Amino acid sequence: MIRLDRVGKTFKGRDGSAVEALRDVSFTVGEREFVAVVGASGCGKSTLLRLVAGLVPPSEGRVSLAGEAVTEVRADTAMVFQAPTLLPWADVLRNVTFPLRLMRRAGADTEARARALLATAGLAGFETKLPRELSGGMQQRVAICRALLQDPRVLLMDEPFGALDALTREEMSLELLRIWSGRAMAVIFVTHSISEAVLLADRVVVMSPRPGRVAEVVEIDLPRPRSFDQEGEEAFQRPARRIRDLIFGERISRAA
């Protein structure tokens, strides 16, 4: 579904100097695969997502979706950011349907589909609430519903739970797995949390420090459905240790 072939990205700094964010990045994501991307701050994880989304072009290499080069924003790709970015003056239902209305893709069934998604996310009865009347976790559920209403083939998520407290973050991780399991879409999920990456993903792409490169792609051999009860199992801890070693180095990881 998604392929990155020797992708690089260089930006121009304020002083005119070149800032290399990504170098020689190659990996693939299958049609129904959940892939997490982890790495130290500044390694280009968010830049990578923007390249797949078509928001910025690569300086080198090629990003393709279903064999077609990604050269612009696509209707079959949706993105969820760390902040929910909801319209403060619009109620929940209008926030969820806003992108389709903006793109003039809303149909007769759009509102019914939006209500069904909200019910799936545990937000039935909140359709007329404003964002300020919702908790942080509820706002992020609205943002996810907004993305899913577009019926994307690809869902890109840039640390969507990073601003949430630990308990809400765990709840949202399990909620995301439940929603994703019933939909035919590929997911690329950027996170700083190793445990979150192992819980959610089929594979974890570990990035090196800037310029970001693929240090290793770690396979996650955990049965689904998953829960945080598996965190103590060796099948969970083994890939978590490997990811930690790749990011921090074996000496630091063992000392921890």
Nearest to 19 by CA among 10, 27, 28: 10
Between CA 142 and CA 122 the distance in angstroms is 10
DSSP secondary structure, 196-236, as one string: HHHHH-SEEEEEPSSSB-EEEEEE----SS--GGGGGSHHH
Quickly count helices (H) and strands (E) in the chain.
8, 10
Tell how far CA 63 is from the center of its chain.
17
Per-residue pLDDT, 175: 84
Token match 């976790």: residue? 137
Q: Which helix (H) or strand (E) holds 64?
A: strand 60-65
pLDDT in tens, 143-198: 999 998 988 999 999 998 887 788 888 888 888 888 888 777 999 999 999 999 99
Mean pLDDT by 10 residues, the chain (256 residues): 95 86 96 94 93 96 94 91 92 95 88 91 93 92 90 92 82 85 89 94 95 96 90 94 88 42
| DSSP letter (8 states) at residue 132 | G
Per-residue pLDDT, 60: 96
Per-residue pLDDT, 166: 84
Per-residue pLDDT, 256: 45
pLDDT in tens, 140-150: 989 999 998 98
Q: Which CATH number fits domain 2-76+154-255: 3.30.1490.20, 3.40.50.720, 3.40.50.300, 3.10.290.10?
A: 3.40.50.300
Q: Which helix (H) or strand (E) holds 80?
A: strand 77-80
Sequence ranges of the domains in the chain? 2-76+154-255, 81-151
Residue 139 in contact with residue 100, Cβ under 8 Å?
A: no
Nearest to 178 by CA among 239, 117, 111: 117
**CB atoms < 10 A from the CB of 102, how many?**
9
Per-residue pLDDT, 178: 84
Between CA 63 and CA 41 the distance in angstroms is 23
Per-residue pLDDT, 254: 43
Residue 228 in contact with residue 199, Cβ under 8 Å?
A: yes
Non-local (6+) Cβ contacts of 151 within 8 A are none
Per-residue pLDDT, 218: 97
- Upper half-sphere CA count for residue 166 (Cβ side, 13 Å): 2
Between CA 62 and CA 59 the distance in angstroms is 9
